[in-house]
Structure 1
Amino acid sequence: MTGPRRANQGGGVQSIERAFDLLELMADAGGEVALSELAEASGLPLPTIHRIMRTLVTSGYARQQPSRRYSLGPRLIRLGETASRSLGSWARPYLAELTEATGETSNMAVLDGDQIVYVAQVPSQHSMRMFTEVGRRVDVHATAVGKAVLADLATDTVAQLLGRSGMRAQTERTITTVAAMQDELGRVREQGFAIDDGEQEVGVRCYAVAVPGAPAGAGISISGPEGRMTRIATDTIVPLMRRLAKDLSAELRTASHSA
């Protein structure tokens, strides 16, 4: 787990900021932690953490297990689903522009726990096209959008996440070791985009970029049959994807500041 994310900057409610810090630390740890682990990661006193966690449990945003460890609570599911729908609504105009430019299916997905969940899609008009159901959850290591999101995370955070997920092989091309994925993420950072070359599904290729500064780790991608995707000129399409991701990020930040 990483340390506290924010300091009180005046005008905020410190107890609320601390509660969100603890929820994010729990998410980083895979959704379940002990009080001592939260104390070590946050730097807060145990009595303070215990008081906040008791409030979160009472309101349904956390649960206390029989082992006395704490896990994320069911009320967060509703918040997450609503936030995902909102992200999808903002993303669709940008995805539509991407699909119009490439002729291929475009998607937006976010990191949720240790998996990627798709929150928006604009399908290709080709009779043979890729279709990923909105709301579908997939393993982060086997997708282009997952790699794009991972490339924005710290190396130790990536290792912890991949260690928890198990990196199961989806096809014979799937990267299945943390070391190999760290090498791959280095290439993603260097070239500015990620590729899924038949690693999630045989015969399918995807390109993806991260949405910078998104409220949750997020990315946009295009996907299609391998034969068509190899003819897409990445030197022209990737700059378009990065521009759309940057514009979407700016809209999300504006919306969050005006809320």
Structure 2
Amino acid sequence: MPPSAEHTTTPQAATPPAASGGVQSLERAFDLLERMADAGGEVGLSELSAASGLPLPTIHRLMRTLVSCGYVRQQPNRRYALGPRLIRLGESAARLLGTWARPYLARLVEETGETANMALLDGDEVVYVAQVPSRHSMRMFTEVGRRVLPHSTGVGKVLLAHTPDDQVRALLARTGMPAATEKTITTPEGFLEALAHVREAGYATDDNEQEIGVRCIAVSVPDSPTSAAVSISGPAGRVTDAATDKFVPLLHEVAGDLSTALASSGNGQ
């Protein structure tokens, strides 16, 4: 990677260390990338300056370096967008996240007997990044890497439960709300009502909404570095209301343990 334009040969101009003991320019660059992602992937320098509190010359130097490395690209309208080189990093990170999650999903399968999944919110879609299948001959199977719309899934509901209503409406306007089954929620009002129930209950269900005969129970992974959910799914005859009462505490326990493991990994422990 080429050196930042902030660096010179004089010690006085070297980038000061960050409070954490790291390199301040790196922390600032990653902060800008995350702010760009939060803003939808495309921003102007003035927006970044207002959001980050950094002066425009500093942001311009950092963005120029990110552009030269391929992590950001400059649009014809002079705004900056996340670059394609980030896709490879994101795909690799998602695969690793799925690998880390598998032992926790295996525990869910061991204790519930049903298929366990992990899913992330990627843009406007839900993507499944890990699964451990049930040992039953009749079981739910979702291919890792499969993408679905959030409105018809339990994982989609928990992933969007704490998103502001106007942002949820905007997402639904972009994706549409096609009916996968006769029980799929197909109106924004109905979906927002379902999200309110998720916030109150602390978990979400997909009751024959994605596939007739299949029920899913999902909870979010707290404090995850990206929006993540774990779920169990199986035939409606087995994943009953009584089973839900028993499975939900276990789902929360496993999600909490997974969150702790991810935090430890992020801290290099």
The structure whose RCO (Cα within 8 Å, separation 6+) is larger is 1
**Shorter-chain TM-score range:** 0.7 to 0.9
Tell me what 2:105 maps to.
95
SS where residue 223 of structure 1 aligns?
strand
Tell me what 1:134 maps to.
144
Given that residues 30 and 114 in structure 1 are in contact (C-alpha distance below 8 angstroms), is that contact kept between their aligned partners in structure 2? no
Given that residues 104 and 223 in structure 1 are in contact (C-alpha distance below 8 angstroms), is that contact kept between their aligned partners in structure 2? yes
Q: Greater CA radius of gyration, 1 or 2?
A: 2
SS where residue 54 of structure 1 aligns?
helix
Tell me what 2:196 maps to.
186
Matched, 1:236 2:232: no
CA-CA distance at 1:161 after TM superposition: 4.3
CA distance in 2, matches of 1:18, 1:40: 14
Which ranges in structure 2 are unaligned for 5 or more consecutive residues?
A: 1-17
CA-CA distance at 1:167 after TM superposition: 4.1
SS where residue 128 of structure 1 aligns?
coil
Tell me what 2:233 maps to.
223
Which segment is superposed worse, 135-144 or 34-43? 34-43
Q: Percentage identity across aligned positions? A: 66
Q: Structure 1 pair 69/254, CA: closer, same or farther in 2 (3 Å)?
A: same
Match of 2:127 among 101, 117, 120: 117
Tell me what 2:14 maps to.
none
TM-score, normalized by length of structure 1? 0.86
In the alignment of these two chains, the number of paired residues is 252
SS where residue 199 of structure 1 aligns?
coil
Matched, 1:56 2:81: no
Which ranges in structure 1 are unaligned for 5 or more consecutive residues?
A: 1-7
Matched, 1:80 2:90: yes
CA-CA distance at 1:34 after TM superposition: 3.2
Q: Structure 1 pair 168/48, CA: closer, same or farther in 2 (3 Å)?
A: farther
CA distance in 2, matches of 1:152, 1:122: 27
Given that residues 92 and 121 in structure 1 are in contact (C-alpha distance below 8 angstroms), is that contact kept between their aligned partners in structure 2? yes
CA-CA distance at 1:183 after TM superposition: 2.3
TM-score, normalized by length of structure 2? 0.83
One-letter amino acid of the counterpart of residue 24, structure 2: Q
CA-CA distance at 1:240 after TM superposition: 0.6
CA-CA distance at 1:256 after TM superposition: 1.2
Which segment is superposed worse, 127-136 or 222-231? 222-231
Matched, 1:196 2:206: yes
